[in-house]
Chain A
């Protein structure tokens, strides 16, 4: 089982994640060509300006209005992306199998980052359960996506600390990580891929076409 999930399934997950993402982006761009105005209203400068304003915390009105959400969101997303990429454990595996490696996070830091991701998921969960607006637009799929996001980190945390059933948890960790990768292009987790484009479009339409700003 371990051999399978940590071997072929990793390959399959990455192939689906990368291939699926590329396909989704290709599909979107080729569809965008059919929209006669979409590209004509885009501008690189205004896209970049919009992205800069929305990728730096508190650099727009929306984020300033909700400081706690902003802090949690930035912390969550930074940890979500960087922890798995710079985790020593992952890099050792990578080095063993492909003989490539890069800088890794100190283990203590990575541990805290994992906790931040889990805490972020709890924050989002509580928000989904308590904020009336969010609650109203939440269904099973939203909880599922939250679970898909949280599980690799929860299992990773348990496995790292070897709290119980190490082998089983490790398999679960790898498996949930793979599920998450596979889910990204095909669920609303694809906002990871698409937010750049939607942001760039709105930024361009507001800036280039309508001579205003979107932050």
Chain B
């Protein structure tokens, strides 16, 4: 089979460039065969032997569609250019090949699982891309900025090098911010036996602290019995899951779940993040041997849905004008929360304009699956390859795009900037704070 012609602008990624120089072919062969033999099995074999090379998966992929149907971005091409070669050559490949594998699997695929849904045989191409990532990670061929977040997870158990005191301090500060809306509001730290442990992702205390103030208001208005941990284990995000460092992934997830067990809560409610839900609900527990998390995890969308349906939060004034929403892959296509997202959007917006395609068929924001964490070197191609979704947003004519996921939020902001859409990008909680009713006895 002829090699694929892939034309890319050269990208300088210090770590990948450095690793390319230091990797030996023996190391590569050993790791590839080790991962294929010990960590994969009949699933990978069957996928590879069943694929009839029909190319129907390409129609599913926003990378392919946004890049004028450039063959090198098609899902099947990504498999051809990585796994097929590794299997055919039994691991005898060079460092440049591994670098290209990392580029394909880490920076040009969001493991969003849309292609699996368009393959007539249901071949899970995202799974194969994760196998490629695992091999790359074991060879330390990982984009620099992604590896840095993984290192942060490994050292601090959070994604953003947030130190323990900074975490607690931020919560105490945001409790005060919440008291600006509801003077009696409390953000209870380390309250054993609360019903809910609320967890967030590293960027919230680091860059988006106001979201912690928002949740303080929402929880207090809804009368929830909740707590947040003052120890590591508060961060539900997990970039190690995406880099391929599954041991660090497992340690982070274990701590997150054990923190909830230690606090004796009934459930974990998590902030608006998709990949964190995937890590907490699926990938992390599976590696640890749990069928599902021992303390159930509720994503913010499902939580807000419950609060709105039960009337614990009432809407005083709906958000005016057309508003649309991004459907985060990890909570919609891969967790089935689509109808709940539409419900809460309709509940708080006068004019919710749905995306086409929507729900599980909606396209990825192109920031998910770690690609945004690959950092500035890879941003240009990422935004360029989100053209399709930019057109979908534009068609809605909305003034605001709601993104109940942090990756989506940053990715959609890049889309809005890159394609000059002139739209606002907001988390659902930001809309809810504007629209919700604060009962008189709680008001400032």
* Interface residues, chain A, with chain B CB atoms under 8 Å away: 27-28, 31-32, 34-38, 40, 50, 54, 61-62, 65-66, 69, 73, 131-139, 142, 188, 190-191, 194-195, 197-203, 205-206, 209-215
Provided the pairs A35-B43, A194-B46 are in contact, do residues A133 and B336 lie with their beta carbons within 8 angstroms? Answer: no
C-alpha spacing A35/B50, complex, angstroms: 18
A88 to chain B, nearest CB (A): 31
Is B311 engaged at the interface, CB distance under 8 Å to the other chain? no
B56 near A69: Cβ-Cβ < 8 Å: yes
B56 near A66: Cβ-Cβ < 8 Å: yes
- Which residues between 36 and 74 of chain B lie within 8 Å of chain A, taking CB atoms? 41-43, 45-47, 49-56, 58-60, 64, 69, 71, 74
**Which B residues are in CB contact (< 8 Å) with A32?**
41-43
A61 near B117: Cβ-Cβ < 8 Å: yes
A108 to chain B, nearest CB (A): 31
A144 to chain B, nearest CB (A): 12
C-alpha spacing A202/B60, complex, angstroms: 16
A31 near B53: Cβ-Cβ < 8 Å: no
Provided the pairs A35-B41, A61-B118, A191-B50 are in contact, do residues A210 and B282 lie with their beta carbons within 8 angstroms? Answer: yes
C-alpha spacing A203/B77, complex, angstroms: 23
A190 near B50: Cβ-Cβ < 8 Å: yes
Is B190 engaged at the interface, CB distance under 8 Å to the other chain? no
Contact stretch, chosen from B121-129, B246-254, B395-403? B121-129
B441 to chain A, nearest CB (A): 38
Provided the pairs A195-B50, A211-B336 are in contact, do residues A202 and B116 lie with their beta carbons within 8 angstroms? Answer: yes
A37 near B286: Cβ-Cβ < 8 Å: yes
B77 near A212: Cβ-Cβ < 8 Å: no
C-alpha spacing A65/B357, complex, angstroms: 12
Is B318 engaged at the interface, CB distance under 8 Å to the other chain? no
- Which residues between 1 and 33 of chain B lie within 8 Å of chain A, taking CB atoms? 1-2, 4
**Which A residues are in CB contact (< 8 Å) with B282?**
209-210
B69 near A132: Cβ-Cβ < 8 Å: yes
**Which A residues are in CB contact (< 8 Å) with B118?**
61-62, 65
A85 to chain B, nearest CB (A): 22
30 contacts between A and B (CB under 8 A): A31-B42, A32-B41, A34-B41, A34-B42, A36-B289, A50-B122, A61-B118, A62-B56, A66-B59, A133-B69, A134-B54, A135-B71, A136-B2, A136-B80, A137-B76, A137-B77, A137-B80, A139-B1, A188-B53, A195-B120, A198-B46, A198-B47, A198-B50, A202-B116, A202-B119, A210-B335, A212-B333, A212-B335, A214-B117, A214-B122
The tally of CB-CB contacts under 8 A between chains A and B is 135
Secondary structure of the A contact surface, majority rule: helix
A206 near B121: Cβ-Cβ < 8 Å: no
B49 near A188: Cβ-Cβ < 8 Å: yes
C-alpha spacing A206/B117, complex, angstroms: 9
C-alpha spacing A182/B60, complex, angstroms: 34
Residue of B whose beta carbon sits closest to that of A63: B120
**Which A residues are in CB contact (< 8 Å) with B80?**
136-137
Provided the pairs A40-B291, A212-B334 are in contact, do residues A198 and B56 lie with their beta carbons within 8 angstroms? Answer: no
A191 to chain B, nearest CB (A): 5
A181 to chain B, nearest CB (A): 18
Q: Which of B59, B74, B124 contacts A205 (CB 8 A)?
A: B124
A153 to chain B, nearest CB (A): 18
Is B257 engaged at the interface, CB distance under 8 Å to the other chain? no
Is B332 engaged at the interface, CB distance under 8 Å to the other chain? yes
B421 to chain A, nearest CB (A): 26
Is B133 engaged at the interface, CB distance under 8 Å to the other chain? no
Given contacts A202-B122, A212-B336, 5 further A-B contacts (CB under 8 A): A38-B43, A62-B59, A136-B2, A137-B55, A191-B50
B108 to chain A, nearest CB (A): 15
**Which A residues are in CB contact (< 8 Å) with B186?**
none
**Which A residues are in CB contact (< 8 Å) with B59?**
62, 65-66
Per CB-CB distance, the 5 closest pairs between chain A and chain B, nearest first, are A202-B122, A31-B42, A211-B336, A133-B55, A139-B1
Q: Contact flags (1/0) for B157-178 with A, using CB distance below 8 Å?
A: 0000000000000000000000
B46 near A133: Cβ-Cβ < 8 Å: no
Is B379 engaged at the interface, CB distance under 8 Å to the other chain? no
**Which A residues are in CB contact (< 8 Å) with B122?**
50, 54, 195, 198-203, 214
C-alpha spacing A62/B115, complex, angstroms: 10
C-alpha spacing A70/B41, complex, angstroms: 32
A198 near B76: Cβ-Cβ < 8 Å: no
Residue of B whose beta carbon sits closest to that of A62: B118
